[in-house]
């Protein structure tokens, strides 16, 4: 008898391709727990992902899944949901895929309030291609394409979600497993455009160079110590900055007419 959690994983595809200790693996665990707890119909669920390390997640969930071109998971998902509203449509991808090339689609899907869930692994770099700077890389970070430290302000995913009209948005880390699972479940069940941002710095290409941390255990300790859970806060204030406390929590939860 398969455990309720195991039933959501394509166990014949394990072990996953991510580095040992990668936050994506833990996020996968939380996601599968959330799917279980949400009790949604497994045969009517579609997981759509883009290109990058996080994008590989669609290969491991045991439901209809689709791996699109870079940045285009959200409009593909919109097509799916509009064509068959009965389906539970979840986009699960990375910060580079969703918030560099894909930002435009994020904004418009949120604006339309299409009933899909968007889960974003924010690992602060383009991990699959060896750690180039991403729109979400905190200013001053050292990456392979910003060896002197990046000079760009990090994109504030939460503020963007608010400005675009998302009905639900939260930010957790891969290490706050209980809160993350709960938030994912909420986002999956919520009617309207729902967003969950998961902070999980890439170990070899970000955490190593910028946090001087090189193991899951050390990163988890760091985030549990340096995160501050806030509820009522102006979202423009929570842009991720190097060497500053990280604000996490459930930020947006409103009702709006669906598309």
| Residue linked to tokens 């300790």 | 221
Residue span binding another protein (CB under 8 A) among the ranges 25-33, 81-89, 155-163, 238-246: 81-89
The stretch near another protein (CB under 8 A) out of 68-76, 151-159, 169-177, 214-222 is 68-76
Q: Which residues pair with 90 in a beta bridge?
A: 47, 117
Alpha carbon 131 to its chain's center: 17
Shortest distance in whole angstroms from residue 138 CB to another protein: 28
Helix (H) or strand (E) holding 185, with range, is helix 177-189
In the complex with another protein, the residue whose CB is nearer, 59 or 204, is 59
Binding test (CB under 8 A) with another protein, winner from 5, 82, 229, 233: 82
Q: Which residues inside 102-141 make contact with another protein, applying CB under 8 A?
A: 104-105, 107-108
When asked if residue 11 is in the footprint of another protein (CB under 8 A), the reply is no
User: Residue 239 CB, nearest distance to another protein (Å)?
Assistant: 25
> How distant, in Å, are the alpha carbons of 99, 102, 177, 212 from that of 72?
11, 6, 28, 34
At 47 the three-state DSSP class reads: strand
CA nearest to 174, candidates 196, 143, 141, 155: 196
Our finding on whether 44 is near another protein (CB under 8 A) is yes
Residue 191's φ and ψ, nearest 5 degrees, are: -85, 120
Query: Which residues would be at the binding site for another protein (CB under 8 A)?
Result: 10, 13, 42-44, 46, 48, 58-59, 62-69, 72, 75-84, 86-87, 104-105, 107-108
């Amino acid at each position: 008898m398969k455990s309720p959690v195991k039933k959501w994983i394509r166990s014949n595809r394990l072990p996953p391709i991510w580095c040992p200790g990668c936050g994506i693996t833990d996020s996968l665990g939380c996601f599968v727990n959330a799917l279980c707890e949400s009790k949604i119909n497994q045969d009517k669920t579609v997981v759509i992902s883009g290109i990058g390390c996080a994008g590989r997640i669609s290969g491991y969930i045991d439901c209809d899944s689709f791996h699109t071109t870079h940045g285009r998971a959200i409009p593909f998902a919109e097509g799916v949901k509009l064509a068959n509203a009965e389906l539970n449509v979840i986009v699960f991808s990375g910060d580079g895929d969703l918030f560099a090339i894909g930002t435009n689609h994020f904004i418009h899907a949120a604006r339309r309030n299409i009933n899909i869930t968007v889960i974003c692994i924010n690992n602060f770099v383009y991990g699959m291609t060896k750690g180039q700077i991403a729109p979400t890389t905190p200013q001053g970070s050292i990456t392979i394409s910003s060896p002197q430290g990046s000079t760009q302000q990090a994109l504030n995913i939460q503020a963007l979600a608010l400005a675009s009209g998302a009905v639900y948005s939260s930010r957790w880390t891969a290490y706050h497993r209980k809160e993350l699972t709960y938030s994912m479940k909420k986002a999956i069940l919520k009617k309207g455009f729902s967003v969950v941002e998961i902070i999980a710095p890439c170990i070899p290409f970000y955490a190593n160079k910028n946090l001087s941390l090189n193991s899951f255990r050390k990163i988890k300790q760091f985030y549990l110590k340096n995160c501050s859970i806030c509820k009522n806060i102006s979202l423009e204030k929570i842009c991720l900055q190097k060497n500053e406390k990280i604000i996490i929590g459930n930020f947006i939860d409103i009702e709006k007419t669906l598309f």
